[in-house]
Amino acid sequence: MSTAALLALGLVPLIAYVVVGIRLMQLCQASGVSHGWLAFVPLLNFTRWARLAGKNPWLVLLWFVFIIPGLILSLIWLNKISENTGTKSPWFWVYLLATILVYGGSGNFAESGAFLIASLVLTAATVVAQWKIFDASKVQRTPTATV
């Protein structure tokens, strides 16, 4: 794989992480969820997802013990966040499909140029979906979100 491709595969997800972190932090502030800066800390950002969904953030520990239940829980939380912000359709489904494809299917053709294109497109799709779901202007304050 070329240096440019490796740079793109490293730089694009980093930029995406920062962009989504900013949006998540804004949503936390609008919802009254404390410590919005945790949106930029890997794995701890899922504690903000849990808080926004009105769930116990300690459930993030499942990520360290059981990967698959942790992934499923985070999707459940994202679904609840999308319901709370009124962005359920179709953005949650775009995120779900793009996430499955980027993590599950793109490795099947890792040696081709199609891998780079697919990874970049699917990463962009997940970022756009999260950007739409984490829309702070559509927040419906709930008592459980401020725990």
What local confidence, expressed as pLDDT, does residue 51 receive? 92
SS3 127: helix
| pLDDT of 15 above 60 | yes
| pLDDT of 106 above 70 | no
CA 3 to chain centre: 27
Q: In terms of pLDDT, which residue wins out, 15 or 143?
A: 15
Among 51-60, 83-92, 99-108, the minimum mean pLDDT is found in 99-108
Rounded Cα gap, residues 46 and 74, in angstroms: 7
**Where would I find the H helices in 32-66?**
45-52, 62-65
Q: Does a cis peptide bond (omega within 30 degrees of 0) precede residue 90?
A: yes
Q: Can you read off the two tokens belonging to residue 121?
A: 């497109």
Which residues contact residue 30 at a Cβ distance below 8 angstroms, ignoring those fewer than 6 apart?
Answer: 136, 137, 139
- According to DSSP, residue 14 is labeled H
